[in-house]
Structure 1
Amino acid sequence: MKITTEQLTAYFDSKGAKGACPICSTDNWSVTPVAGPDGEVQAGEIALEISTQMVRSHSWVPVLPVVCQNCGFVRMHHTFWIQKWLAEQTDGG
């Protein structure tokens, strides 16, 4: 599911996800990667390695990185929760 910048802004607003950077105290965030010309944002992925003595595998967690434009601090938002909220808005939930 693609997430537009408008949907992402609405999600953050609904969750009260505004605030100062914990490192430099500014409030100037952007989504990385930058939205394309069609206004769509693609989620990045972080690889989490899961290993045991018997099996070694990889698990992927889809996230949207949000970057402080002053100091570069990166916060991550799991796209499952964004997509769940978007589905609830569509379903009237």
Structure 2
Amino acid sequence: MSDQEDQNSPDFDLGQATADLSLEDIIEFFNAKLKNHNCPACLENSWTDVRAADSIHGLIAQPLNGPVTVPAPMYPLVSVSCNNCGFIRSHMAAFVLSWKESNGKK
């Protein structure tokens, strides 16, 4: 495994690794880790990757009280949308990447 692939390496780029995840990787993660793959809103099980090729979805953390931090800490997400109702399901990218790595997936 190269330094770029090791999440503990200072050279690891979580944003790039997240962008490299495929919809197939995300669905395999769902199948392995989730007890229910259906949309919690409409109960369908059909998903589309909603990440744009040139951007990273993420949660930006800001304090509730006090000054805004710039740049703010960002936690990359993998996000999929239900093809039936549009519900968006997001999971921390680091969990999906860790699962993929621990299962020997490239």
TM-score by length of 2: 0.62
- More strand as a share of residues: 1
* Residue 30 (str. 1) matches residue 48 (str. 2): yes
> Number of residues paired by the alignment?
84
1:18 Cα deviation after fit:
4.4
Alignment deviations for residues 23-70 of structure 1 (CA, whole Å, 9 cap, x no partner) = 222222112126x6xxxxx752232223543x5312211001111111
What root-mean-square deviation, in Å, do the aligned CA atoms of Structure 1 and Structure 2 show? 2.5
Whether the aligned pair in 1 keeps the contact of 2:23 and 2:48 (CA below 8 Å) is no
Identity of aligned residues (%): 20
1:83 paired residue among 97, 102, 105: 97
State the partner residue of 1:59.
73
* Match in the other structure for 1:44: 57
Unaligned runs of 5+ in 1: 37-41
Q: Which runs of 4+ in 1 moved over 6 A?
A: none
Contact 1:26 1:70 in 2 (8 A): yes
- TM-score in terms of structure 1 length: 0.69
**Structure-2 separation of matches of 1:31 and 1:61:** 18
Structure 2: runs of 5+ lacking an equivalent: 1-16
CA distance in 2, matches of 1:80, 1:13: 17
